[in-house]
Every structure is written in structure tokens, then in C-alpha cells.
Amino acid sequence: MQAAPVHLAGGEHACLLVHGLAGSPLEVRFIGKLLQRAGFSVYIPVIPGDSMGSEPLPWQRWRDEIARIFADLRARHDTVSVGGLSSGATLALTLAETVPGIQALALWAVTLYYDGWAIPWYRSLFEPAYRLGFGRFYGYREAEPYGLKNERWRARVAEAMRAHKASTAGPALIPSDFLFQSILMGRYAVSHLHRVTCDTVVLHAADDETASPRNADEVFAGIRSVHKRRLMLGDSYHIITMDNERDLVARETIRFFQQSILRVRPQLPLALVSSARALLRLQRRRAARGG
């Protein structure tokens, strides 16, 4: 299944959102839609070598691509904030470690290490086996709970995985080349955390089955952002942008991005949003005013 980019037109402040490993923009589209309703222009790209349906490339090529997209957005918008899910959060983190000018950063289920409770015990053997040439034939097959605590959505994902080998939550099988590059990227991100100084919010599930809360803790402790926030979720698994608390993830991300902008541009007429329902009310008021 080939992934397709998502562009949601909005105002002069933009958001660049990054999906998870070998995934698609659908994984973060819900958050993107609510960001658009709050007035942001949103772009969720397809990344050659990382997105579903593409041939794997070194992770530095992933970063180069989102750096190019970020520069393009920065030239056309007043501010650009960046958000990412899972390995997409790690990729967004490496962008912040490399490129200046990010207004605010949202890390959803950031994955430096694959150390959650559902990761197989033999995971530690993957890297040495890959380097020896054996692991290149390995692929990580997604299984219950598919990153979702919500049983209804999990059943839908499971059915899509069986029928189409992919779903809105990603592919049924992640090839070893993608996994290896993600491991290398996480290692780089850990060693350069001190370079991150932009406003950063870290959201992570306490029961994350793929990346334990250690990932969020290490990022939060290691970055040098003056304005940073960490929020642990109690009713989600790994894909927090689609699970039970996705409204909360959207709300906290929007508020953090808005507050970051207002800190440097207090004169801007931004309406702070406190909930998903408030986002809908804001959208209706803007529609009634004709824009």
C-alpha cells in the first residue's frame, strides 16, 4: 500500500507532522485535523525510505527530507511547529537537534529504544544478527494489541491487517532494514539531546507496549529547552494519536503550540483552545463569520 501526503490548509502558523516507522500520514491525521480547526496549516508528508510502500533508505535521508520540507514551510509561514509519532517523534527530535527555527516540538510516544512490554525477548539479538547478515531476512510482524488499547479500533486494525496487510496504524510487517535504521536514528538522537532548545512537549502512555516511559523520561531530562512539558497518559498504548486519549493528545499539543507562539508574539489574536469540543465551537464561530 502506497502512502499519500496530507495537506490541510489553514492560517499563517504551520505544523509539520511525521508518522511512525514504515507508516503513513493516516496515523497522525486526526491530530492534524484538529490543529487545522484551531487555525494552523498542517502538512503530513510522505518520506521516501521511511513511509509505507517505499524502499528503505538510511535514516539521514529521512531527516534530510523533512528538513527540506521544514525549510519550505518556514519560508511561507510565520512559524512552523513540528510533531511526530513513535519513530516519527524521534525523527522530529533529530530535526530539532540539527535545524534551528522550530517554534515548538511535540513528541508523541517518542521511541529511542524498543523496550516496551510487548517487544519479544529476542529483540536484543536483532542488531548483531542484522550486522552479520542474518537479520536482513527478518521482519517485525505487528500483533495484538497493535498499539491500541481501544478494543473496537483494535479490531478494525486487525481486520485491515489480515485483509490488506496494512491499516491506518501502519503495515502488518515492518522489514528489518527499516528497523535497523530506526535503531541507529534513536542512538543518534540520544547522544544529541543537549542540542534541543526549542519549546517541547512530550506525551507518552504509561502502558506503552512498544517504547517504555523510559524513552519519554530520557528525552525530557536530556533536552535543554527552557519551556518543556511532559504528560503521561493512563488509558492508551503506543499509538496515542489514534487511541482512547487522542482528544487529549490533540488538545495538549494545540495549547502548547499556541502558548509557545504567544510567548514570543503576545500581540497575535490567537484563541487558546482548551478541549476538542472547544475546537469544534471555534470552527463553527469562524464559519459563521465567513472565515
Domains and CATH numbers, the chain: 6-117+180-289 (3.40.50.1820)
C-alpha cell recorded at residue 65: 527530507
Question: What does the alpha-carbon distance between residue 159 and residue 226 come to, in Å, rounded to a whole number?
Answer: 44
Question: What does the alpha-carbon distance between residue 78 and residue 261 come to, in Å, rounded to a whole number?
Answer: 10
pLDDT tens, per residue, the chain with 291 residues: 567 899 999 999 999 999 999 889 999 999 999 999 999 999 999 999 988 878 889 999 999 999 999 999 999 999 999 999 999 999 999 999 999 999 999 999 999 999 998 887 777 788 888 888 776 666 556 555 667 887 786 677 656 656 555 445 455 567 888 899 999 999 999 999 999 999 999 999 999 999 999 999 999 999 999 999 999 999 999 999 999 999 999 999 999 999 999 998 877 766 666 555 555 555 455 455 544
Helices (H) and strands (E) in the chain, counts: 9, 11
Q: 3-state class of 115 per DSSP?
A: coil
pLDDT on residue 169: 47
Q: Which helix (H) or strand (E) holds 203?
A: strand 199-205
Cβ pair 103, 81 in contact under 8 A? yes
pLDDT on residue 79: 96
Question: What does the alpha-carbon distance between residue 175 and residue 113 come to, in Å, rounded to a whole number?
Answer: 17
pLDDT on residue 4: 86
pLDDT on residue 167: 45
Cα angle 209-228-224, degrees, rounded to a multiple of 5: 100
Question: What does the alpha-carbon distance between residue 284 and residue 291 come to, in Å, rounded to a whole number?
Answer: 10
pLDDT on residue 52: 83
pLDDT on residue 140: 59
pLDDT on residue 252: 96
pLDDT on residue 249: 97
Concatenated DSSP letters for 237-248? -S-TTTSTTHHH
pLDDT on residue 55: 87
